[in-house]
Structure 1
Amino acid sequence: MDRQPVLEGERLLLRPLEPADWDALYAIASDPQVWEQHPMHDRWREDVFLAFFDDALAKGGALAVIDKSSDAIIGSSRFQQYEPEDGGSVEIGWTFLAPRYWGKGINHEMKRLMLAHAFEFVERVDFRVGETNWRSRQALENIGAERTRRTELSRYDGKRVIHIVYEITRDSFASGPLAG
Structure 2
Amino acid sequence: MTFSIQPILQNDRAVLYPLKPDDFDALYEVASDEKVWEQHPNKDRWKKDVFETFFDGAMASKGAFKIIDGASGEVAGSTRFYDYNPEDNSIFIGYTFYGTRFWGTGLNLAVKRIMLDYIFQYVNAVYFHIGATNLRSQIAIVRLGAIKVGEQTVAYHGETPKLNFVYEIKKENWLNNE
Short-chain TM bin? over 0.9
Q: 1:14 aligns with which of 13, 16, 24?
A: 16
Deviation at 1:154, TM superposition (A): 4.7
Alpha-carbon separation, structure 1, partners of 2:86 and 2:160? 33
Aligned mates of 2:140, 2:126 — CA distance in 1: 15
SS at match of 2:166: strand
Matches within 5 A, 1:158-177: 161-176=162-177
How far off its partner does 1:71 sit?
2.3
Deviation, 1:102, is: 0.8
Q: Does the residue aligned with 1:135 lie in a helix, a strand or coil?
A: helix
Structure 1 unaligned blocks of 5 or more: none
2:65 matches 1:63: yes
Amino acid at match of 2:152: E
Instruction: Give TM-score scaled by structure 2 length.
Output: 0.92
Report deviation, 1:59: 1.8
1:137 match: 138
CA shift, 1:155, in A, is 6.8
Aligned to 1:2: 4
Structure 2 residue 108 is the aligned partner of structure 1 residue 100: no
* Pair 160,70 (structure 1): closer, same or farther in 2 beyond 3 Å: closer
- Could you list the per-position Cα deviations for residues 15-35 of structure 1 after superposition, in whole angstroms to 9, with x for gaps in the alignment? 100111111110111101110
- CA separation of 1:65 and 1:160: change in aligned 2, threshold 3 A: closer
1:41 maps to amino acid: K
- Residue 138 of structure 2 aligns with an amino acid whose one-letter code is R
2:88 is the counterpart of 1:82:
no
State the superposition RMSD in angstroms.
1.9
Q: Tell whether 2:153 aligns with 1:153.
A: yes
Post-superposition offset of 1:85 = 2.1
Q: Distance in 1 between matches of 2:123 and 2:155?
A: 30
Which residue in 1 is equivalent to 2:29? 27
In the aligned structure 2, how far is the partner of 1:143 from the partner of 1:103?
14
| TM score, norm. by length of structure 1 | 0.91
Distance in 2 between residues matched to 1:97 and 1:155, nearest whole Å: 22
Name 2:112's counterpart in structure 1. Answer: 111
Contact 2:9 2:114 in 1 (8 A): yes
Q: Distance in 1 between matches of 2:40 and 2:147?
A: 20
The runs of at least 4 aligned residues of structure 1 exceeding 6 Å deviation read none
- Determine helix, strand or coil for the equivalent of 2:128: strand
Equivalences, count: 175
Give the unaligned 5+ runs of structure 2: none
C-alpha distance in structure 1 between counterparts of 2:79 and 2:23, whole Å: 13
Residues 133-154 of structure 1: per-residue CA shift (max 9 Å, x gap): 1011011011111111x21125
Q: Secondary structure at the match of 1:121?
A: coil
Q: Secondary structure at the match of 1:27?
A: helix
Question: How many percent identity over aligned positions?
Answer: 44
